[in-house]
Structure formats: C-alpha cells, structure tokens
C-alpha cells in the first residue's frame, strides 16, 4: 500500500465505489475489505474523494512539520498556486502572515518553480529534437506512464516538477533551509518521499486548515496584484500552455485533463497516431484546482475556481534565476506491477462460477467496479476480486434461494402490492385456487381469484390477521389464512394453509359423534321403556300377590 494512503478497515462497507472510480483498478477486495495495491496505484486520490464512509485516509504529516520547525533551521513553505481557489479572497501576503505565526521562516509560491519548469519546456522544444513531449508536472500522470505505458516513457519530459524545481531553488538560496510543500495533491507526498533531498515534507490544504484552526489563526481577506505572476495559471487545465510562448516550429500544443482522456492519448501515442505534439497532462479534471485534497466544499466549483486563479494571475513571468538544464533533469524508470495473466480456460471457469455460461449472460453492468465481466474474472484469478462482488450473480442467487423456499413450501403464498395487484404466487397457492400458471394472475387484481376484503382491512388498519379459518366456496376448500403488511417493502403477504382434509376429517368425526350420541340416546330411551314396563309388570304382580296373601290370611284367621 502506498505510504501516503491508509485504509480504515472498520469503515469499509463493500460498496465498491472506490474500484468503480479507480482508473487503473488498483484496489483489491478480500475479507469484505478494500485494500489499495501499492505497486499498481497511481495516487490520483479518486478513492479518497468518492469513499462515502471516509474509509480512505491520507497520512497526515503535520507532526513531521512541527518537528522540522523545532530544529532551529529555517523552514520555508512552497505554496501551490491553487491555494487561491481553496481559500477565498486570501492572497499570498495573508497566507505568509498566517504561516509565519505557525513558525515558518517564509512562504513562497510554487508558481516560481512553475516559471522555471515552463522555461525549460520551451528550451526543449526549441533546441532538442523531440517528437512528442508530455509534461511531467503531475506525479499521478508520471506514475501512470511508468506503470501502464512504459513504451511512452521516452516522451515524458525529463524535468523536475514545479514543486521540486521551487524547493531546489529555495535550497540554493538558503542552503540550510528545510522545505515544505502545501497543496491539493496526495501524489506529491509520494513524489517528495521518492525523490529525496528536495522536499522535506508535504501538507495538504486540509491539514493546513486544521492546523490553523487548532492554533486559532484566522486568514485575512486580502488580495495582492502582481503582474509578474503568470505561472499562477499552472493549476488550471491549459494553464501551462498559457504561460508558454507556443512558438516552436511544427509543434501542436494541447492540454488534457482527467485520466480517461490522458489514457486515450497515450494509447494513440503507442499506436503511432500522434507526432510533433506538446501535451499538457493532468490527472484531475480541471487540473490541480480539481485536486483530491482541495477541501470538499470547493470540489463542485470548477468555474469559480478557474476564475479565482485567472483573476489572481498576472501577465508576465516571475523574475527567476533559471538553472542550467542539467540541474533540472529528472529520470523516470519503468515500474513493474503486472500480475500473471490467467489463461482463457481459467477465465471461462470463473465466468461459469459467476453464473455466466454464455456471452449473452455477461451483462458488463459495472456494478462490481470493473468495466466487463471478463475484466472481473481476470481480477478474481489474480486475487484482486471476489465472485460475490457481482450484483446480478448475488441477485440471481438470492432469488433462486428465495424461490426454492417459496415454491417448496406446502403453504400457499400470495404477495400483493398496495394496489392489490398480485406480485408473486407459489405453486401451493395455485393448487388451492386452481390456477394453471403464475403468469395467468401476476400483475392482475387479486379480486380475480380471492375476496380482497381481508387484504383491504389489513392495509387500512395496519393490523395483521393470524390463522383465520375461512371457507373458499368457489374452490370448495377450507384454509387458515394469515395476512401480513410489510410497510418497508409496501407489500401484503398472504399465507394460506389448506385445511380442507382436516376440516373434512373433523366433520366426519362430528358426524360419527353425532350418530353415536343418537344411537346412545335411542338405547337409553329403549332401556328406560323396558325398565318402566318391567316396573309396571312387577307392580301389578306385587299387588296381586298382596291381595292373594291377604285373602289367605283372612281364611286362616276364620278357622
């Protein structure tokens, strides 16, 4: 990972926004976390800009600068000309006053170094026999060429950047001085670290603003007019060209901003389509005033930012002492970064794992961050991506799993929207209502197949119905129905358990019980009649016996 970019792992939410905006796809996803691939990254800062969770952090060098200030040696600031767009209405004199309060020895404009660099560009075009010259002011563009377009390295101007040229100039005038660059670019931190001895530390505008707030130092609203400040145009698209004479015979001058445009031009150069060109390239749209560390509330004001720079810039060059060309030389080497390219068999195998068995299934939707499904498959093979990053794959998998559960459920399931239109119906529900195919009812009003009263009642009252037993006369079925209203998804879910067999069995048992009771009642009645008849007979017999005995008793008494 680049030393100047770090990642808060706990903040990463797997939104893949960083990989979608990364122009070179230098981000690896593993364990549900994004990881910046250092040897592939060009430090454009787009991942930092777009991250919605602020998971990407730029390493803060404020403490490093404070240590430099404590050494006792003069610490001089090289202030990027884009500061005028970041700090509204604040000129160089006001910035100097504020930064001196922080302990800096002095503050100068990096535009001084820009003047030195543009003068060297003019000399190269006049004196050197060059076909194409690409400006080397933007470190991200330099890294892009070094890592991804090595065949065009010969066209990259072997000249220090304005930051480096200015800091070198400062150290020439103040041999014991330490230099601190302050600007809107994360890549400058890497440039300062990689090319040692010129720039001792780099702060972003955001770091400076926070430091000033910490010390309760306010910037004064004061603009200065200096006609000898044309190089202040450098941080705008075409700003380098504005400062140049553009009179080299046979050359076409052009300015490109945004990595996509620069990549397109580099491909044209590789293919031999461009010749005799001087090309100003900036990674950021709008050039440096659109830098990743321009404070966030400024990023949406390209016209306003350009106007601020244009009104602040003069129409003549800074008065500088131009070094010899040899003192401004800077070498660029190819930076190896490429991972092994997987075979076609490996790519096709991964595509099949993603559920893509034929080209028509390769949607190339870009939701994973890669432009095509094949690019994504290559990234998976290289260990940079995971199959689960494919949104259509996850959606199909989830729907397949959901459909399996729904369709294998023994209970009928019918889902309606708030307009009571059928959105989903499973096989069990179709069997209950004698519906041949789901397409026969999907999108239609539920009244076609069911009484909507219970759904209307649940929708209006918000009270769910649970295990209500009803008879569907048109289907001659009994069901226990549950109707639930899901407010989040705005859906009504009806669950029907077919209890017709249970109800038939219950009725059968009731009939048997009723018949048994009737038989028992008849038996009891019959037994009672028999008892009564027996009792009656016994009563008559007893009476007759009593009379006979009485007569017998009387006759015995008479004797």
**CA gap 149, 137 in Å, rounded:** 17
Q: What angle separates helix 162-173 from helix 111-127, to the nearest 10 degrees?
A: 110
Phi-psi region of 286 (alpha: psi -120 to 50; beta: other; left: phi over 0): left
Alpha-carbon dihedral sign for residues 198, 159, 333, 141: positive
pLDDT of 530 reads 84
Work out the pLDDT band at 169, boundaries 50, 70, 90: very high
Top mean-pLDDT range of 47-61, 344-358, 477-491, 539-553: 477-491
Residue ranges covered by each domain of the chain: 1-59, 60-328, 343-408, 409-498
Establish whether domains 1-59 and 343-408 are of one fold: no
Written out in words, the top-level CATH class of the domain with range 343-408 is: mainly alpha
pLDDT at 401: 63
Q: Which residue has the higher pLDDT, 387 or 430?
A: 430
Beta-carbon-side half-sphere exposure of residue 271 (alpha carbons within 13 Å): 7
Q: Which of 313, 312, 319 is nearest to 222 (CA)?
A: 312
Q: Are 380 and 350 in contact (CB under 8 A)?
A: yes
Phi, psi of 539 (to 5 degrees): -65, -45
Q: How far apart are CA 285 and CA 140, in angstroms?
A: 13
**Tens digits of per-residue pLDDT, 499-523?**
988 878 887 887 877 888 887 778 7
Where does 409-499 have alpha helices with state H?
427-432, 453-461
CATH architecture for segment(s) 1-59: 2-Layer Sandwich (3.30)
The pLDDT of residue 558:
62
* Selected residue with higher pLDDT from 352 and 232: 232
**Superfamily, domain 409-498:** PAS domain (3.30.450.20)
Q: Return the pLDDT at 398.
A: 64
What burial letters (b/e) apply to 46-64, b meaning 16+ CB within 10 Å? bbbbebeeebbebebbeee
Which two tokens mark 198? 């010129």
Which of the two residues, 478 and 338, has the higher pLDDT score?
A: 478
Predicted confidence at residue 99, as pLDDT, reads 97
The 10s digit of each residue's pLDDT in 523-558 is 778 888 887 888 777 777 767 776 766 676 666 666
pTM, entire model = 0.73
Q: What is the pLDDT of residues 80-103, one digit of tens each?
A: 999 999 999 999 999 999 999 999
User: Which of 27-31, 324-328, 402-406 shows the highest mean pLDDT?
Assistant: 324-328
Q: How confident is the model at residue 1 (pLDDT cuts 50, 70, 90)?
A: very low
Per-residue pLDDT of 245-276, as tens digits, reads 999 999 999 999 999 999 999 999 999 999 99
Do residues 195 and 83 make contact, with C-beta atoms less than 8 angstroms apart? no
pLDDT band at 391 (very low <50, low <70, confident <90, very high): confident
Cα–Cα distance measured from residue 419 to residue 444, given in angstroms and rounded to the nearest whole number: 10
Token reading at 449? 């197949």
Instruction: Give the pLDDT band (50/70/90) at residue 137.
Output: very high
Average pLDDT along the chain: 89
Q: What is the pLDDT of residue 553?
A: 67
Tokens standing for residue 64? 């490093």
Per-residue pLDDT of 117-126, as tens digits, reads 999 999 999 9
DSSP category for residue 252 = E
């Amino acid at each position: 990972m680049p030393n100047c970019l770090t990642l808060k792992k706990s903040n990463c939410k797997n939104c893949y926004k960083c990989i979608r905006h990364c122009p070179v796809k230098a981000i690896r996803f593993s364990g549900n976390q994004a990881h910046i691939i250092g040897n592939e990254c060009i430090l454009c800062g787009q991942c930092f800009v777009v991250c919605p969770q602020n998971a990407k952090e730029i390493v803060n060098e404020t403490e490093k600068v404070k240590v430099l200030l404590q050494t006792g040696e003069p610490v001089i600031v090289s202030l990027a000309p884009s500061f005028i767009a970041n700090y509204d209405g604040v000129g160089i004199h006001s910035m100097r006053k504020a930064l001196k309060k922080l302990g800096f020895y002095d503050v100068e404009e990096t535009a001084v170094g820009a003047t030195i660099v543009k003068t060297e560009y003019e000399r190269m075009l006049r004196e050197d026999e060059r076909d194409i010259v690409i400006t080397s002011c933007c470190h991200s563009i330099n890294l892009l060429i070094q890592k991804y377009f090595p065949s065009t390295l010969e066209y990259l101007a072997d000249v220090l950047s304005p930051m480096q040229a200015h800091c070198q100039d400062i150290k020439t005038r103040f041999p014991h001085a330490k230099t601190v660059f302050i600007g809107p670019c994360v890549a400058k931190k890497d440039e300062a670290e990689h090319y040692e001895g010129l720039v001792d530390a780099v702060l972003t505008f955001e770091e400076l603003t926070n430091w000033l707030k910490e010390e309760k130092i306010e910037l004064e609203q004061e603009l200065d007019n200096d006609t000898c400040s044309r190089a202040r145009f450098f941080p705008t698209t075409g700003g380098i060209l504005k400062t140049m004479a553009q009179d080299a015979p046979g050359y076409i001058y052009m300015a490109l901003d945004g990595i996509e445009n620069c990549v397109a031009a580099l491909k044209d150069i590789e293919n031999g389509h461009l010749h005799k060109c001087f090309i100003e390239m900036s990674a950021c749209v709008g050039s440096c005033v659109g830098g990743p560390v321009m404070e966030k509330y400024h990023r949406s004001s390209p016209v306003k930012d350009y106007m601020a720079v244009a009104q602040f810039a003069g129409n003549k060059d800074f008065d500088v002492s131009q070094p010899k060309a040899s003192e401004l030389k800077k070498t660029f080497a190819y930076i190896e970064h490429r991972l092994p390219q997987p075979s076609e068999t490996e790519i096709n195998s991964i595509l099949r794992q993603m559920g893509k068995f034929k080209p028509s299934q390769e949607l190339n939707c870009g939701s994973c961050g890669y432009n095509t499904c094949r690019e994504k498959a290559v990234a998976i093979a290289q260990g940079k991506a995971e199959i689960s990053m494919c949104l259509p794959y996850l959606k199909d998998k989830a729907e397949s799993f959901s459909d399996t559960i729904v369709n294998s459920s023994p209970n009928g399931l019918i889902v309606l929207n708030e307009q009571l239109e059928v959105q989903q119906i499973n096989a069990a529900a179709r069997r209950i209502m004698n519906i041949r195919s789901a397409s026969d009812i999907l999108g239609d009003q539920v009244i076609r197949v069911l009484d909507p009263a219970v759904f209307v009642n649940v929708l209006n009252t918000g009270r769910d119905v649970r295990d209500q037993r009803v008879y569907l006369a048109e289907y001659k079925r009994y069901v226990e129905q549950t109707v639930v209203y899901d407010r989040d998804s705005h859906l009504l879910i009806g669950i029907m358990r077919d209890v017709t067999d249970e109800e038939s069995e219950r009725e059968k048992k009731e009939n048997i019980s009723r018949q048994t009771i009737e038989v028992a009642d008849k038996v009891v009645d019959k037994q009672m009649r028999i008892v009564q008849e027996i009792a009656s007979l016994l009563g008559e017999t007893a009476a007759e016996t009593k009379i006979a005995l009485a007569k017998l008793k009387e006759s015995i008494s008479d004797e």
